[in-house]
Structure formats: C-alpha cells, structure tokens
Chain A
Amino acid sequence: MMLHNALDRYHDRPSSIHDLDPRVKVVVTLLGIFSVLLLPDGAWGAYFLVWCAVLAVALVARLGVGLVLRRSLVALPFALVAITLVFTLPGRTLFTLQLGAWEISASDAGLVRFSSVLVRSWLSVQMAILLVATTRIPDLLHALRHLHVPALLVTILAFMVRYLAVLLDEVTRLLRARQARSAASAQGKAGGSLLWRARVAGNMTGQLFLRSLERSDRIYNAMVARGFRGQYVTINPHRMRRRDWMALGLAFAALTMIQWLGRTLS
C-alpha cells in the first residue's frame, strides 16, 4: 500500500503545460527526443539551447528546475555504457592505458562522441520526465490510442500501470514473510548457504508468477462478466483546441531552429 505514491510521477499543478492536450505533449516529446538524437556530435551550443528550452518548460509547468535535474540523474549510469567509444574511435591520441597485456588509447574524437552521447541521452530523459510529470497516466494512454498506437500495446501498458502497484505489494508481502522467519538461533550463524538463499529467491519468483497468473485469470473473468468480447472500447475525452495547435506549432518551430543552428554552428 505504501509503494503506490512512489510509482506516480505526475505532479498536479495548475499550469498551461498540464492543460495541453496529451497528444500534443506526446508528439512534441517524441519529436524533441528524435531531434536531440539527430544533432551532430559536439554541437554544444545547440545542446545548451535544448537544455534552456527544457528548463523553460519546467518553469512554465511550475515543476521547478531541481525536480527535473534530480530525476534525470537516474538515467546517467545507462549512458555510461557508451564509454567504450572513447577508446574505440580513431583520432588524435589523448592518453594510453596499460591493462595487462593490452594497451588501449583514448582519442579526442572518441571523447567528443562520448560526451555528446551522454549529454543527448541526459536531455532526452529530461524531456520524458517533463512529459510524465505533466500528464496523467490515463491521459497518456488515451493519447497513445488516438495516435494509432496498436490497441493491444496500449492495453498491455494500461494493465501494467494498473497492476504494477498490486504486484509490488505482493512482492513486499513475500519479502516480509521471508524476513519475519529469517531468525538466527542462539548458537551458529544465521542465513544459510548462498545456494540455499538463491533457491528461496527462486521459489519466491515462482510464487509471484503463479499468483500473477491466477490473478490474470480472475481479471479476465471480471472483464468477460461485464461483456468483454475481445475488443477494448474507451470513451474519447480529447479535443484539440487553438492553443494546442499553437503549442504544437511553436514546439515544431523551436525544434527546427535548434536543428538548423546545431548543423550550421558546428
């Protein structure tokens, strides 16, 4: 029960960004991410402009700069995978490392490519954070439906969102039950061998799978009981207004500008 709030990334604020049609937000976010990824390496000026735009949106949405920055750090470890670029790209050698029998050297071009990848992924993550912080999940799902994402995919997403919290609760209960019985006797050490612990963890995973399977059966029954015949139907609550079109146009213009600057300046 206590985990639910940790899952919800939505921040309810009265702002013009929150008020935009979710479709516009989804499209602009996707365009923004693609646009950033398409920027050439080392276009630092353009990266900076994108970052300013992200911060501006965060401020207009009354989220504050700190929130977006803090959340975006989560993604950095994943971007570190790109570190191999520093050593694999040909270019002027910066320094050389001796690793046992191997000798690897870092190149300047590799370093530029690596930092660009890092910055670009960091900016993309910030855009995604803005999207989920300003759009409620049901709206997001509807937007995807209206943008002709396959219905089955959206339904799967909807179920995931709905039952993630329930599954987390189930995991918490399993873990708690294990903890409650993980006692130590007065003599001897507590715990058991690694293999034994791995087996317990495996059993718990199996338990979770079986419980989920049974739950999915019950959910399906509940759907069929209310007339579900294989087709998912939803009510359409979204209508594009003038300011939605304007926001879409503005975002498109800004992204084109940044693309152009990034290509001419670098």
Chain B
Amino acid sequence: MPIVHEPVARCVDGWGRPAPDTLALEVEDLHFAYPDGHVALRGVSLQVHCGEKVALVGPNGAGKSTLLLHLNGLLNGGQGSVRVMGMPVTTPNLPFIRARVGLVFQNPDDQLFSPTVYEDVAFGPLHMGLPEEEVRRRVVQALTQVGMAHYADRLSYHLSMGEKKRVAIATVLSMHPDILVLDEPSAGLDPRARRGLINLLRTLPITMLASTHDMLMVRELFPRMVIMDEGRIVADGPTAELLEQTELLEAHGLERL
C-alpha cells in the first residue's frame, strides 16, 4: 500500500554517515491521561537529534513507558504532537512511522510471539510488504547484527533471557528503523548478558532512546540523559553533569553513583 507523505529527512546520508542536524524525534507539549483517569503525561517536550543516544530515567510511574508508546502511535489522543523524522504521528502516517521507530518492549516474552526466532524476525519486514528475498536477507542481517545468526530455527521459548532480549532487538532491526526505542533493556539480565547487551547497543549505529533504571549503563552508554517525574521532564542534559547533581537526583528518586 503506497503511502503519500511529505518529504522526510533521513537520519543517514547517502554514504551511510549520520546527518546530525536532523531531528529524529520531536515531542511537543504532550499530554496524556489513561481511560481510568490516571494522568500519565503533563506537557512533555523533547527533541532528539539523529545519531544521539539518549537515556530516559525516573521513578516507576513517571510516564516513561507512556511516552515511549506515543513515539510509535500505540497511544494517542491527548494534547500535543509527536513528529518522527519530521513526519507527524497521525493515523494515516502510522504504517510508515512504525517502520521508522523500532520499539523494543521490556518483556521479550511479549515481543517474541512467533513459534521460531526466524519467523519473529521476519514478522516486521513481511508486514511491510517486502518481497520474500528481501525479507530473508534482512532476517539474516538482523540476526547477525545481534550475534544470534545460529538461532534462526530455534523455538523462542527455549532461549535464555539474554538471548530473547537480543532476538527482540533483531525483530525491530530487520525493519531498518531510524530510531531504536528501548523500554528497560537491561532489566532482568544477569551481569554477563547485561554486559553483552551494552556492548551490542554501543555498536549499533542508530539513534537510540532508552528508558531505564540502570544508572551504570546510562553513564557508560548514553551521553545525554533526560529525567522524568510525575509526567514531566524535570531535567535534560549531559549525563556526566546531571549525575553530579546529588540533590536533583535524590529529589526524583534516583541514586548518585
């Protein structure tokens, strides 16, 4: 189904180099309340440039996951606007947006719903309507990228937590997204799997926004940090600087390293 849309800035130029002037994500004064009346977002504004790796931290219930679900159009209906690669997130644009924003959910058991690893990684490209050859090429490529090429025929429920996490990332990489959005990527991983994941995320040449409680990972991987609390962004700046501000961190339930 061809989608008519306005010209969109690509994150990567013709030579595969990041084009850092482009805004990958642009969230403006976003409000959202769940149907039960719980207000989750109270005017969030956030800009992420291409090639940036941004961490989203804050206590549980701060609205991090709600914000992430908006980037993909899974939640909408509140005030404010979200733009991905310059394109507004609206219903007609959704099929396009979903290919641009790779959303990795916290629990890989929710993300890996197909019987085999291969089918799960092929799910996204297949639903983009790509030809079979291209789908197969992308599956192999994505699995290789996360170091799981030999697991293609394995059944998802036989994998370890760390392996599931890697496959979950591959399931969105196969869609060739411009932005990778991760919800608590290191939660529930043992130290070795966590280390492997951090190394993997470091090597992926892609814009990244990750919500997390893992401050050590934030310091190591994300040069920029955004603190959320009670549905608002309360701080946004270089990780190294914010991590020095003990009072700010403690006021929002975070610990200084």
A residues whose Cβ falls under 8 Å from a Cβ of B: 4, 8, 137-138, 141, 158-159, 161-163, 165-166, 215, 218-219, 221-229, 231, 233-236
Cβ–Cβ < 8 Å partners of A159 in chain B:
113
Contact check, B110 vs A235: say whether CB atoms are below 8 A apart: no
Question: Is B143 an interface residue, CB under 8 A from the partner?
Answer: no
- Among A137, A219, A234, contact of B126 (Cβ-Cβ < 8 Å): A234
Contact A226 B123 (CB under 8 A): yes
Q: Which of B12-20, B34-42, B127-135 contacts A (4 or more CB under 8 A)?
A: B127-135
Residue contact A227 to B157, C-beta cutoff 8 Å: no
B110 adjacent to A222 (CB under 8 Å): yes
Q: Which residue of A lies closest to B108 (CB)?
A: A222
Contact of A4 among B109, B112, B136, B158 (CB under 8 A): B158
Per DSSP, are chain A's interface residues mostly helix, strand or loop, or mixed? helix
Question: In the complex, are the beta carbons of B124 and A138 less than 8 A apart?
Answer: no
Whether A221 pairs with B69 at a CB distance below 8 angstroms is: yes
When A and B form their complex, which 7 residue pairs have the shortest distance between CB atoms, in order from nearest? A227-B127, A138-B115, A226-B124, A218-B110, A233-B126, A225-B103, A165-B157
From A166, A228, A236, B127 is in contact (CB under 8 Å) with A228
- B235 within 8 Å of A (CB atoms): no
Please judge, given known A-B contacts A219-B113, A227-B128, A233-B127, whether A138 and B103 are in contact too, CB under 8 Å: no
Which single member of A163, A224, A226 contacts B171 (CB below 8 Å)?
A226
In whole angstroms, what is the CA distance A141 to B113 when docked?
Answer: 14
Which of chain A's residues have a CB closer than 8 A to the CB of B112?
Answer: 162
Residue B172 at the chain A interface, CB threshold 8 Å: yes
Q: Is B85 engaged at the interface, CB distance under 8 Å to the other chain? A: no
Please determine whether A218 and B116 come into contact, CB atoms closer than 8 angstroms: no
The B contact surface, by secondary structure, is: helix
A-B contact pairs, 11 of them (CB 8 A): A4-B157, A8-B155, A138-B116, A162-B157, A221-B105, A223-B123, A227-B98, A229-B95, A235-B126, A235-B135, A235-B136
Binary A-proximity of B62-74 (CB < 8 A = 1, otherwise 0): 0000000100101
Q: For the complex, what is the distance from the CA of A8 to the CA of B156, rounded to whole Å?
A: 13
A221-B105, A227-B124 given. 19 additional CB < 8 A pairs?
A: A4-B158, A8-B155, A137-B115, A137-B155, A138-B115, A138-B119, A138-B155, A162-B156, A166-B109, A166-B157, A215-B109, A215-B110, A222-B111, A223-B113, A226-B123, A226-B171, A234-B119, A234-B126, A235-B136
Q: Which of B103, B109, B115 has the most CB of A within 10 A?
A: B115
CB-defined contacts of B128 to chain A, threshold 8 Å: 227
Q: How far is the CB of B69 from chain A (nearest CB, A)?
A: 7
Assign chain B's interface to a size class: 20 to 34
How far, in Å, is B114 (CB) from chain A's closest CB? 7
Contacts of A221 in B (CB 8 A): 69, 74, 105, 110
Q: Is the CB of A219 within 8 A of B115?
A: no
Closest residue on chain A to residue B175 by CB atoms: A226
Chain B nearest CB from A234 CB (Å) reads 7
Query: What residues on B are CB-neighbors of A165 within 8 Å?
Result: 157
Q: Does B141 contact A (CB under 8 A)?
A: no
Chain B, residue nearest A158 (CB):
B115
Q: Assuming A224-B74, A226-B175, A227-B175, is B110 touching A141 (CB within 8 A)?
A: no
Whether a CB of chain A sits under 8 angstroms from the CB of B55 is no
Task: Name the residue of chain A whose CB is nearest to the CB of B171.
Answer: A226
Residues of B near A229 (CB, < 8 A) are 95, 127
